[in-house]
Each structure stands twice: as structure tokens, then as C-alpha cells.
Amino acid sequence: MSSRTQDRRHYAVDLREFSVIPMNAITFAGVSKSYDTVRAVETLDLEIGSGQAVALLGPNGAGKSTSIGMLLGLVRPSGGTVSVFGDTPDAAVRTGKIGAMLQDGELVAGLTVREVVEFVRRLYPEPLPLDEVLSLANLTSLAKRRADRLSGGQAQRVRFALAIAGAPQLLVLDEPTSAMDVESRRSFWASMRAYAAGGRTILFATHYLEEADENADRVIVMARGRIVADGTAEEIKASAGGRTVRFTVGDQPTAGLEALPGVTGIEVRGGSAQLLTTDPDATVQALYASGIQVRDLEVKGADLEEAFLSLTGDN
């Protein structure tokens, strides 16, 4: 075989491998983190494919920020390895593959919005065009304003602009809308979706369940350092009790409702009862057979809030 044929074969094999094995954007393999006696993250195994928008949802202290810190190379894991597009977090940050918007971060005093964004853009090898960054972050009309004289929501938009300035393939946002009012939040998520539309990967931590529901393809719920659920918002709702059955019960005794088939939770207040159930048909049949006089019966999907509380054990 000539060396030329050998070269060509080698090339063909490489190409095939490249197309068959899609690279994960994020891999956590057996990752844990302890701060002295506090076990912030238990053994975490997680793969996030390229192009997904993923919400990391969980109550205070669940381990979200610690996981994000490890992803960005800011926190060293106590065990396991984190990789980003096959690289270490440090290398991925250095080469501009990750952009991040963290919970705080002062904006440079005395510079305009345009100057701050331009300054950061220039740190990256292949940044987005300045006008595109300003437009994506909804900052075009604020470009000449001083960055240290903005409202909380406007300052968050500048932080978002800085996070996308280097055209990162992975954008990581830690509770990005915590200081925003409803309107700012809506416009922020529109910007985020516009950025994600180019096949980029987004990971964001949030306490707001409706944000996860509306903006993520996949929702990962963490509690006490562990993943307690992982799926679409719909799957998570279904896995945590599925449906609610509501009805008016008046002042009749309600003992025994919790024992009806499928029921995983019950709340009785002001003459109305609400049952969380995995099997609404069986629950309703048994309810009618129980002798309780049921009025205004209604069955609907549990919302993500109920699912979340049930999964994290915070109810």
C-alpha cells in the first residue's frame, strides 16, 4: 500500500469518528465538592449535549452555584472530572468557548456601555460584532450611557452582553434575572433565546419555575447536592405526582382522602380539597365510591411548582 493510500484511509476513519460521536457540551463524571464539613455536591454524573437549553433548578443551598463554579474552573472539585467540549474548564474559558454571567460582578466605573462591551470583546479571538452584541442584549439605545449609572435590570443586560461578547458556544447564567422586574425578565429571555437560536448551548440556574418551564428544553432539579429529577418540564411534572384533583368538600370530614389510590399529597382549605395524584382515574372513582358528597370536581395537570416542591421535599 502506498503511503498516500494509507494517509487517505486514516483521514476517512477520522472523519467517520467525528460524525458518529457527537461531542457533549458539558460532562460531569463522578464530580463531588465538599467545603470542610459541608457536602455541597454529591457524586454528580451529567451529560449535556450541544445545542440544548438546560435549566438547573433547586432551592437555596442545593449546589447549583457550586456546580456552575466547577464548570467555569472557579471551584476545584473534591473528586471526579468536569469537561467542556472535551477540554478542561480552564482551557474552555481561556479559548472563549464558555461565556458566563454570574450573580454579581461590578461594571467598570466611568466607561460607557459601548466602551465596556468593546473592551471585553477585544479579549476574545473571534468576538461577535459590537453592534450585534448591543442589539442582542437590547442595549443599542443605551450604548452611550455610563455603565455604572444604570438600573439593576439594565446592568444585568450589560452583564449578558459581556457574557456573549466572545461568541461562546456555551453560555452559563447563574440566576440571571434575580434583580429584574417582570418586563425586564421577559425581554431578557427573548435575548437569551435569540442567542441560543444559533445552536449554542445554554445552562442557567434559577429559582423561578416558570422560567425553567418556558425557556429550557431540559430541566435538571437539584436538592441537597444531588440531582433529584432530570427531563423536560412535562416529564418532571408527570414524575412528581402528575395531576391534581380539586373539588368542593364543604364541612364534611376528609379523613381517608390521603389513602385513595394514586394520591401522593393532599391539601384541604376553606371547604375545598386538592389531591395530587399519579392516577386520576382511580382516584376519582374511589372518591365517588367513598360516600363523600363531591361538587365542582376538576382534574388538571400539576404545575411545575407543585412538582418541584414534591421532588425537593420542601413542602
Ligand X SMILES: Nc1ncnc2c1ncn2[C@@H]1O[C@H](COP(=O)(O)OP(=O)(O)OP(=O)(O)O)[C@@H](O)[C@H]1O
Closest distance of CB 79 from ligand X, Å: 15
Scan residues 65-84 and list those touching ligand X (CB under 6 A). 65-66
DSSP state of 112: B
Does position 63 interact with ligand X (CB under 6 A)? The reply is yes
Does position 64 interact with ligand X (CB under 6 A)? The reply is yes
Does position 61 interact with ligand X (CB under 6 A)? The reply is yes
The phi-psi region of residue 245 (left if phi > 0; otherwise alpha if psi is between -120 and 50; otherwise beta) is beta
Nearer to ligand X (CB atom), residue 44 or residue 84: 44
Answer for the pair 2, 50: CB distance below 8 angstroms, yes or no: no
Looking at 122-215, list the stretches that DSSP marks H as alpha helix, in order from N- to C-terminal side. 130-136, 152-164, 182-196, 209-215
Does position 32 interact with ligand X (CB under 6 A)? The reply is no
Closest distance of CB 36 from ligand X, Å: 7
Nearer to ligand X (CB atom), residue 78 or residue 187: 78
Does position 127 interact with ligand X (CB under 6 A)? The reply is no
Does position 60 interact with ligand X (CB under 6 A)? The reply is yes
Does position 24 interact with ligand X (CB under 6 A)? The reply is no
Measure the CA–CA gap between 106 and 165, rounded to whole angstroms: 17
Which residue in the set 62, 192, 221, 236 belongs to the binding site for ligand X (CB under 6 A)? 62
Closest distance of CB 161 from ligand X, Å: 23
Closest distance of CB 41 from ligand X, Å: 7
Residue-wise DSSP of 20-83: HSPPEEEEEEEEEEEETTEEEEEEEEEEEETT-EEEEE--TTSSHHHHHHHHTTSS--SEEEEE
Answer for the pair 192, 185: CB distance below 8 angstroms, yes or no: no
Determine phi and psi for 304, rounding to 5 degrees. -65, -30
How many residues sit in the footprint of ligand X (CB under 6 A)?
A: 11
Nearer to ligand X (CB atom), residue 65 or residue 154: 65
Question: Candidates 61-69, 212-220, 233-241, 281-289 — which segment interacts with ligand X by CB under 6 A?
Answer: 61-69
Which residue in the set 12, 13, 38, 259 belongs to the binding site for ligand X (CB under 6 A)? 38
Nearer to ligand X (CB atom), residue 74 or residue 299: 74
Measure the CA–CA gap between 53 and 308, rounded to whole angstroms: 19
Q: Residues 6 or more apart from 300 whose CB is under 8 A from it?
A: 243, 244, 246
Answer for the pair 72, 101: CB distance below 8 angstroms, yes or no: no
Question: Candidates 33-41, 81-89, 264-272, 274-282 — which segment interacts with ligand X by CB under 6 A?
Answer: 33-41
Question: Candidates 64-72, 135-143, 152-160, 177-185 — which segment interacts with ligand X by CB under 6 A?
Answer: 64-72
Does position 35 interact with ligand X (CB under 6 A)? The reply is yes
Which residue in the set 25, 52, 54, 58 belongs to the binding site for ligand X (CB under 6 A)? 58
Answer for the pair 119, 72: CB distance below 8 angstroms, yes or no: no
Q: Which three cell numbers stand for residue 196?
A: 441560543
Question: Candidates 57-65, 153-161, 181-189, 275-283 — which segment interacts with ligand X by CB under 6 A?
Answer: 57-65
| Kind plus residue range of the DSSP H or E element containing 273 | strand 272-277
> Which residues contact ligand X by CB under 6 A?
35, 38, 40, 58, 60-66
